[in-house]
Homo-oligomer: A and B are copies of this chain.
Amino acid sequence: MGSLEVAKLGHVALEVPDLEGSLRFWRDIVGLEEVERREGEVYLRAWGDFEHHTLVLMRGEEAQLHHVAWRTRRPEDVEAFRDHLRAQGVEVEEVEPGAEAGQGYAIRFFVPTSGHPFEIYYQVEKPKAPEGLRSRLKNQVYPAFRRGVSPRRIDHVNLWTGGQDPTPTHDWLVEHLGFKVREYIQLPNLRLGAWMSVTPLVHDIAVMFDGATQGPRFHHVAYYLDNWQDVLRGLTIFKEHGILPDLGPGQHGISQAFYSYVRDPFSGHLLELFSGGYLILDPDWEPLEWRPEELVDGLFWWGDRWDPQTQPDHPFSRTTGVRRPGVRVG
C-alpha cells in the first residue's frame, strides 16, 4: 500500500470497572497527569507526552482494552486508511471530532487477523499544562517528579493473540499499517511473538501467542523512564502503596529493556515501567530471530527466572480482555 504508514503510537484506552480506584493507581501512584474528565472517562498523559492524552480510563463492565490508537503521518492519511481498510473488507467505524476528547476525526476497526480494537487519527490537541503545573522547560509539558513514579512518556503496547498463531497479525501490521518486524521468537511450530515498530524504537507494539486463552487479549502498556534507577525508585513507591510488581526488576534480552511490571489492582490491567532499550536507526535492519533455546534469554536476560517446562503459569502470562465488535462501553 505504498507510503501509507502510521507514524507512532498515540494512546491506549482501557475500560475499568472501578474508575476511581484505577485513577488512584494511574494518576496518584503512577503519577500520570489528568488532562480532562468526562462522564465515565478520564484522559491522562505523562509529563513528557505532548498529545492531549496517552491513556484513557473508561468506566466499563469489565477490565478490557477499548482501543489502541495510532497517529498517521499526514492529515489526509486517516481517510486514506479508511478507504484502504474498507477495500480490504475491514469494517471501519468513523469517530466524529470531539467524540474522543482533544481529538479530531478518527476511524476504528478490529484487526482482522487477531480481533484487537484499533483507532487511527491525525488531528489531536497538544495542550500546554495549566498555569502553575507547567514545566519551566519549554520542550516539556509538566515538571518531572511531581507525584508518584512519574514516567516520562508512553512507549509501547503488548497484545496477545490467545490460542491463535500471531504470524498473520504480524504480517497484517506490516502490510497494512507499515510496521517493520525488529525482533521475533521462532519456535519449531510457531512464531511466538514479534516486536514491531514504525519508529526507531525496537517496538511500538509487540504481538505474542498465548496458549492459555482464546481470542484477543491485552497484555500491557509501557511507559518510559529516563534512568534504570527511576524504575527502582518506582518500585519503592509502589510497595509503600502495598503493590508488588508481577515481574522484575530485570532486563529483557529482546529490546534490552530494563523493566518492571506492575498491575493496577483495581482493574488487573498491566503497566510496564520501561527504561533503556536501544534505537534502530538503520534503514536496512534485518529482523533478529531468537531461537527456541534462546527463548528464556530473550524474555528474561537477568532478573526474573523462568523454566518454561515447569512454570507454564508464569506471572508474565496474565492478561486482560479486549472489547469485541458490537459492544459499547458505559
Which A residues lie at the B interface, using CB under 8 A? Answer: 7-8, 48, 50-51, 71-74, 126, 135-140, 143-145, 152-153, 183, 199-202, 226-229, 232-233, 235-240, 242, 244-245, 248-251, 253-256, 258, 275-276, 278-279, 281-283, 288, 290, 294, 297, 301-303, 305
Q: Of A253, A275, A288, A303, which is in contact with the most chain B CB atoms at under 10 Å from its CB?
A: A303
B281 and A183 within 8 A (CB):
no
A273 CB → nearest B CB, Å: 12
CA distance A297 to B139 in the complex (A): 12
A73 and B235 within 8 A (CB):
no
23 sampled A-B residue pairs with Cβ under 8 A: A7-B282, A8-B283, A48-B278, A51-B282, A72-B283, A135-B240, A136-B239, A136-B240, A138-B288, A139-B288, A145-B236, A152-B278, A201-B279, A228-B232, A232-B232, A232-B249, A232-B258, A235-B302, A235-B303, A236-B251, A236-B302, A249-B250, A249-B303
Complex contacts, A301 vs chain B, CB 8 Å: 137, 239
Complex contacts, A275 vs chain B, CB 8 Å: 226
A186 CB → nearest B CB, Å: 13
A283 and B73 within 8 A (CB):
yes
Complex contacts, A73 vs chain B, CB 8 Å: 283
Complex contacts, A240 vs chain B, CB 8 Å: 135-137, 143-144
Instruction: Give the nearest-CB partner of A145 in chain B.
Output: B237
A298 CB → nearest B CB, Å: 8
Copies in the complex: 4
A35 CB → nearest B CB, Å: 17
B232 and A283 within 8 A (CB):
no
CA distance A138 to B288 in the complex (A): 8
B283 and A139 within 8 A (CB):
no
B227 and A282 within 8 A (CB):
no
B236 and A144 within 8 A (CB):
yes
Given A72-B283, A136-B239, A138-B288, 18 further pairs, Cβ under 8 A: A7-B283, A48-B278, A50-B282, A137-B253, A137-B256, A138-B253, A139-B183, A139-B202, A139-B255, A140-B256, A143-B240, A144-B240, A145-B233, A227-B227, A228-B232, A232-B249, A235-B302, A249-B303
CA distance A232 to B229 in the complex (A): 9
B303 and A226 within 8 A (CB):
no
Complex contacts, A282 vs chain B, CB 8 Å: 7-8, 50-51, 71, 126
CA distance A280 to B248 in the complex (A): 28
CA distance A301 to B183 in the complex (A): 34
Complex contacts, A302 vs chain B, CB 8 Å: 235-236, 238-239, 244-245
Q: Which 4 A-B pairs have the closest CB atoms?
A: A143-B240, A8-B281, A229-B229, A7-B283
CA distance A232 to B282 in the complex (A): 28
CA distance A74 to B284 in the complex (A): 8
B278 and A237 within 8 A (CB):
no
CA distance A43 to B290 in the complex (A): 30
Complex contacts, A228 vs chain B, CB 8 Å: 226-227, 229, 232
Instruction: Give the nearest-CB partner of A202 in chain B.
Output: B139
Instruction: Give the nearest-CB partner of A282 in chain B.
Output: B50
